Every structure is written in structure tokens, then in C-alpha cells.
Chain A
Amino acid sequence: MATMNAVLFFSFLLFAIGCAGMLVRRNALVMLMSAELMLNAANLNLIAFARHSGTVTGQAFALLVMGFAAAEVAVGLALVVALYRRKDTVNADDLNLLKG
């Protein structure tokens, strides 16, 4: 069980780094990477505990998450490129047209 605590601790660390990245960094690309880090923290939990219990549910879940993470990144990158073409910036603070 000690190993599982270590896994949880490590995945929480990853998740915290991802969270902090989303909240602190203002570069859209870095924010995208931070979001991926959060997903991977969850993946780590899923795979470790699936292995711990000897079932495959968690592993299948993790595979699924990987596929969706790729799709999400593709859409995110496309949006960032679209923004860059229009405004010459990838800084989230420059998204200031919509307020209220």
C-alpha cells in the first residue's frame, strides 16, 4: 500500500503543477501543456490502480483519455493558430474584447 501512496502523491504533484500552470501562466500554448499535465496525472492514477487491482478497466480508460487528449490538443492548437493569425499574440491576457 505504501507504493500506492507514493503514486497518489506523485500524481497529485503532477496535477498541482498542471493546475498552477493553468492559473499562473498566460501563454496559451503553455496553458495547453498544463492541461495535458493534468490529464496525465489522472492517467497515472488510473493505470497504477488498475495494475494494483489486476483489472483492465483503468488501463482502457487511460487509453481512451490519451486519444481524447490528442483531439483536444489538435483543436486547441488550431484555435491558437487562428488567434495568432488575427492578433499576432498567444497571450491569454490579450483576450480582452469580451468583458462584463
Chain B
Amino acid sequence: MNGFAAGLWESLVSGSKLIWPQIFLTFAATVMLWPADLFVEKARKHVWAPITMVILALTGALIYLTEPGVGFSDMYKVDGLTKGFQALIVLAAFLAVMLSQKLLDALREQTVEYYALILFSLVGMLTLVGATDLMTVYFSIELMAICIYILVAYLRDQNRGVEAGLKYFLLGAFSSGILLYGMSLVFAAVGGVTTNLAELNRLLPVVPQSSSLLVFSGVLMVLVGLCFKVAAVPFHMWSPDAYEGAPTPITAFMATAPKAAAMGAFLRVFGTGFAGVSSDWMLPLSYVAGASMILGNIAAVRQQTMKRLLAYSSIAHAGYMLLGVLGKGVDNAQAVWLYLLTYLVMNTGAFAVVIILQGKGEGERIDDFRGLAKRRPFLAFAMMMFLLSLAGIPPLVGFFGKFYLFKLAVESGLTTLVVIALVTSAISAFYYLGVVNQMYFKEPADLPEGAEPEVLSTGMTLIVGVTCVLTLVGTLAGPWLVNTMFRITWI
């Protein structure tokens, strides 16, 4: 073996230690698709769910065991930020798989592809949060997005599913075009020598005057592309439609995992790569953040269906999280992580309740929640906790995340935006409490005679119960959470 090949071999061997979770996931999902699926009868496809959960648990363990380091010519890096966000993403996928069981069984739509696609999209997300090169950022975003386009259109026998999938796809393709063009402009601005974020951070502030327009437009286009992925106003149009048309567990997944991955990329690209030219993107991004909070919360007020309401609320939450990106420091990234963790808990819980009600053909419309407290007190109580927590009412866990994020934002001098965030949080309480009002103070709609409340499946009860308890007393784990949070670093 000559020197060149030997060098590559060495870099591959040392680099592969960093991406064991991804290698394992790719291998597992590929074997699941073919040939393993050939040996599973059509009626028994649901066995893939527990297998997927085991795979996800093993991936979690691999993430925990991965040693921090840099590899693949500085294109990928494992550090506190990577590991923290990876853990969030795997947890979100695990919950999504648990949520999927009831719905897929009811629709007789259990297939191996569903689980394999979740795993493949996970490979993209796990790589995205550790990406330290524009090339890695681009390909992991694409890998994640392409799988999710298919998952959104998974129920292809429903017009809504296909329509949502195609809409999401067209806007997603548009956004990735903008993102990539922005990257190519940044690459051009530094004279075509590097796409590495650390290198860019060194080179971008010192480009000649003649290239400053390239830097500005390139950074702005990357910003637009990433804003599409986190569904921030004015690049949010796809999200309510995709959320409504997708199978509900996938909606729950989309609201958490890709959002966490895109936030991780946001923090790293803008926090480390474009930090030197922050004067170019601070102002546009603060407008985007403000607009997301305002428009997301106001549009949510007039929604009639629960999934769209949660979609608009997730747009607003993306706005809050962008405060952390604007703050630029490592401590702000930690706050975003904490926020995402609390958001994951309460959001999954809320979607679990929607899925349980959906099993009986209701739960889509907000009217379906009328009088829920009389019919199913436990579900109504849990839903109330999730909604209050989403609104950020103390002492629930949502307040904890919000408080920390806003406090750091004030310290970073983003006072105006924090004021907007507080005012819009108050608006959000209005529509969340509207649902609570429906559940507790309205008479139930006429139910057909003898409609017995169906027995909850163990998995769903477990999810609702656990997330509800976490929402209620999560704040007590505050010191531990904050301690964990301090390990989210990018140095």
C-alpha cells in the first residue's frame, strides 16, 4: 500500500470510531429492508416495532460510549453539543415508534419501510448535529429530509397524505436549493479553498471588500435554508400542511427530532462558522425570530384542528429557540438544548393524547375535546398539563426551559425580542387555555349510545403517564438537568 492510500486508511479507521452510531443504524436499517423482511409474513410486520426500539436503544448506548474527537478531514466532530443533541433525537425517534403502534395497527399499514425510513432519517440527523463542514451539513440535511418526505406521504391511500408529502417535498427542494446556493457563494467568497466551518470563521471576516456582497448573500441564503428546516416565519408555509397530512406519530416526530437536528446545525453553523460575520445575519435572524413568535402564536388562535394548532405552536417555539442562536454563546446553546428536551416531553405527550382520541375517529378537531374531563378524566388532566406546560406556566417543566432561555437572552442584550417572546407567550396561553376550557367546562358532544371508553393500550398509557409526570415534576430534576446541560459544549 502506498502512502496516499495508507493515509486514507488511517483517517478512515480513526474517523469511524466517531460514527459508530450511524454505521450501526445504516447497517441495521439496510438489513431490515432486505433480506430480513423477506422472512416476515405480511400479517406479522408489527414485529419490526420492538426490533426498531431495540436498535434505537443500542444506538443510544453507542452514542453514550462514543469518545469525543474530530475526524474525516475535520468534517465531523463529536463533542458535547453533538452527543447531547444526538441523545435528544434518538429519544424522539424512540417515542415516535412507540406512538406509531396503535395507529398503524388500526390502519393495517405496518411495513418495514416505515421503520427503516425513520432509522435512515436518523442517520442524517445524527450526522447533522456533528457536522463541522458545509458539505456534511448539506448531505445530512438532504438525507434527513428525503426520508421525511416519504414518511409524510406514507399513507398514500389518503389524498391528504400524498398532498402534504408533495407540498413538503416541493418547498423542501426549493429550500435546499437556496441553502446549497448560499453555501456555494460562501465557498466562492473565500476563493474556493474550503468549506470547513472553522476555516470559514477564520477567512470570512477578512475577505476583500469586493467579495463582501458574496459573503452577505451567501450567509443570508444559508440562513433562509436552515429557517425552512426549523419552520420559522416567513419560511413556515409547509409546516401546518405537512403536520396535518402526515400520520400523527410522524407529526410528533417531525415536531421534535428534525427540529432538534436543524437547531443543532443552526447553533454550530452560525455559532462557530459564521460567528465572525455576525453583523451580516444578526438583524435578519432577529426579525425571523420575532416574526415566528408573533405570527405562530396569532395564527394558532384561529385554528380548528388540534394538529394545526400544535403546528403553529411549534413555529412559535422555533422562534423562541432562535433566541439561543442569536445569543451566540455556548451557554445559549445549552439553553436551547434544555428547551428542546422539555419541548420533546410535553409535545410528545400532547400528540399521544391526540393519537389515543384519533383511534376512535376523533381528536382531529378541537371540538372533539369538548367535555373530555367527564369522559376520560386522566387523559383530560394529562392534556391540560401538556398545554399549560407548552404555554410556559410555572412550575411545569415548560416554564423551566423557557425561563432559562429568556434569562440568557436578556443577558445577551436581546431585550426587545424577549419582551416580544413574553407578550406572545401570554397570547399562546389564550389558545392553549381555550382547549382546556373545551375539555373542562363544555358539555360532551352527543356520543352514540353505549359507546364505551376503549381500554388504553399499555404503550400509550405509559407514554402519556410518563410524559405527564415528567411535565409535572421535571422542574425538581432541575439541578441534574442543568448539570447535564453544562456538558453541551463545542470546544
Question: Do A and B come from the same complex?
Answer: yes
Residues of A at the B interface (CB closer than 8 Å) are 4, 8, 11, 15, 18-19, 22, 28, 31-32, 35, 38-39, 41-43, 45-46, 48-53, 55, 57-58, 60-61, 64-65, 68, 71-72, 75-76, 78-80, 82-83, 86-87, 92, 95, 97-98, 100
From B169, B177, B308, give the contact of A38 (CB < 8 A). Answer: B177
Is B164 located at the chain interface by the 8 A CB criterion? yes
Q: Which residues of A contact B153 (CB under 8 A)?
A: 79, 82
Measured in the bound complex, the distance between the Cα atoms of B174 and A83 in whole Å is 19
Q: Among the listed stretches B185-193, B268-276, B364-372, which one makes contact with chain A, having 4 or more residues with CB under 8 Å of it?
A: B185-193
Instruction: Evaluate whether A39 and B177 lie within 8 angstroms (CB atoms) in the complex, with A79-B166, A82-B162 already known.
Output: yes
Cα distance A61–B135 when bound, in Å? 6
A53 to B149, CA, bound (A): 37
CA–CA, A22 to B187, complex, Å?
24
Contact of A98 among B134, B178, B241 (CB under 8 A): B241
Name the one of A35, A45, A86, A97 contacting B174, with C-beta atoms under 8 angstroms. Answer: A35
A22: chain B residues at CB < 8 Å are 170, 174, 177
Within 8 A of A (CB), among B201-222: 214
- Report if B28 contacts A (CB, 8 A): no
Interface pick from B4-12, B138-146, B338-346, B426-434: B138-146
Q: How far is the CA of A7 from the CA of B458 in the complex (A)?
A: 61
- B183 beta carbon closer than 8 Å to chain A: yes
| Complex alpha-carbon distance, A3 and B174, angstroms | 28
Residues of B close to A92: CB separation below 8 A: 166-167, 170
Is the C-beta of B240 less than 8 angstroms from some C-beta in chain A?
Answer: yes
Apart from A46-B187, A64-B135, A82-B162, list 9 A-B contacts with CB within 8 A: A19-B174, A48-B188, A55-B193, A57-B194, A79-B149, A79-B166, A82-B153, A87-B159, A97-B159
Taking the closest CB of chain B, its distance from the CB of A29, in whole angstroms, is 11
Closest-CB distance, A6 to chain B (whole angstroms):
13
Chain B residues whose CB sits within 8 angstroms of the CB of A55 once the complex forms: 192-194
- Measured between beta carbons, the chain B residues less than 8 angstroms from A61 are 134-135, 138, 187, 195
Number of A-B residue pairs, CB cutoff 8 Å, is 147
* Nearest Cβ on chain B to A87's Cβ, whole angstroms: 7
A52 vs B164: C-alpha distance in the bound complex, in angstroms? 42
Contact of A76 among B169, B192, B303 (CB under 8 A): B169
| Interface positions of B from 132 to 187, Cβ below 8 Å from A | 134-135, 138-139, 142-143, 146, 149-150, 153, 156, 159-160, 162-167, 169-170, 173-174, 176-178, 180-181, 183-185, 187
Q: Please name 26 pairs of A and B residues whose Cβ atoms are closer than 8 Å in the assembled complex, sorted by A.
A: A8-B214, A32-B170, A42-B181, A42-B183, A42-B184, A45-B187, A46-B187, A46-B192, A49-B187, A50-B192, A55-B193, A57-B192, A61-B135, A61-B138, A65-B180, A68-B138, A68-B146, A72-B142, A75-B149, A75-B169, A79-B153, A79-B166, A82-B156, A92-B166, A97-B159, A98-B244
Interchain CB contact (< 8 A) of A49 among B139, B162, B167, B192: B192
Q: Tell me which residues across on chain B come within 8 A of A39, comparing CB atoms.
A: 176-177, 180
Contact among B134, B165, B173, B184 with A72 in the assembled complex (CB-CB below 8 Å): B173
Q: Quick check: A100 and B304 within 8 Å, CB to CB?
A: yes
Contact A15 B159 (CB under 8 A): no
Query: B245 on the interface (CB 8 Å rule)?
Result: yes
Contacts of B245 in A (CB 8 A): 97-98
User: What's the minimum C-beta distance from B255 to chain A, rounded to whole angstroms?
Assistant: 16
The 10 closest A-B pairs by CB, nearest first: A49-B192, A38-B177, A45-B184, A53-B192, A35-B173, A42-B184, A98-B241, A42-B180, A42-B181, A68-B142
Neighbouring A residues of B183 by C-beta, 8 Å: 42
Cα distance A28–B303 in the bound complex, in angstroms: 28
